[in-house]
Homo-oligomer: A and B are copies of this chain.
Amino acid sequence: MSSQGFELPLRLLLAFRMLIDELHAELARQGHPHMRPMHGFVMQAIGPDGTTAVELGRTLGVSKQAAGKTVEALERVGYVERAADPRDTRRKIVRLTAYGIDALNRSARIFDTLRARWADELGEERLLALESDLRKMTPASPWRLDIPGWFGTL
């Protein structure tokens, strides 16, 4: 083999996974045991002003039905709530609850802590360089986290 290029994607994935796993371990300790990796991304996509199932589906790159099911799941856990839109009675606005916002706030703080650990290990200089390099190599940042299905599909 002796392919140097194999390591890069593998390490990127491992690093991502490690951060996410540590995030959720800590979230569980802080009163959010039901939070799943998917939830954070979806709640970010919902945003502070709320959204609708159709719009959410477009943002996430999945069908509106799939988005609807995801919203149902988040509703069951208590992270979002649905309300009618007075200006368009077809629409049902999906909004984050206080509990959901708490999950997001805690996630942010935990990610900061994890980043601080990286800075501690690597040095702030090196970490800034790493972030800058990743920023340089990745697309500006459109969401489109259609991870489910993307990796799978044999």
Interface residues of A in 15-50 (CB under 8 A from B): 15-20, 23, 36-39
Q: Does A54 contact B (CB under 8 A)?
A: no
The answer to whether A151 touches B18 (Cβ under 8 A) is no
* Interface majority SS (helix, strand, loop, mixed), chain A: helix
The answer to whether A115 touches B38 (Cβ under 8 A) is no
User: Which of B7, B109, B110, B134 lies in contact with A12, CB distance below 8 A?
Assistant: B134
Q: State the A residues within 8 Å of B (CB).
A: 1, 3-20, 23, 36-39, 69-70, 73-74, 107-116, 118, 121-122, 126-127, 129-131, 133-139, 141, 145, 147-148, 150-154
> Whole-angstrom distance from the CB of A29 to the nearest CB of chain B?
17
The answer to whether B20 touches A152 (Cβ under 8 A) is no
> Whole-angstrom distance from the CB of A2 to the nearest CB of chain B?
8
The answer to whether B134 touches A15 (Cβ under 8 A) is yes
Complex formed: what's the CA distance from A144 to B9 in Å? 15
> Whole-angstrom distance from the CB of A36 to the nearest CB of chain B?
6
> Whole-angstrom distance from the CB of A72 to the nearest CB of chain B?
8
The answer to whether A36 touches B153 (Cβ under 8 A) is yes
A36 contact set on B, CB distance < 8 A: 153-154
A116 contact set on B, CB distance < 8 A: 5
The answer to whether B37 touches A150 (Cβ under 8 A) is yes
> Whole-angstrom distance from the CB of A40 to the nearest CB of chain B?
9
Give me 14 other A-B pairs in contact (C-beta within 8 A), A12-B134, A121-B137 excluded.
A5-B111, A6-B107, A7-B131, A8-B19, A8-B114, A8-B115, A9-B20, A9-B23, A10-B141, A14-B138, A39-B154, A126-B133, A130-B133, A151-B151
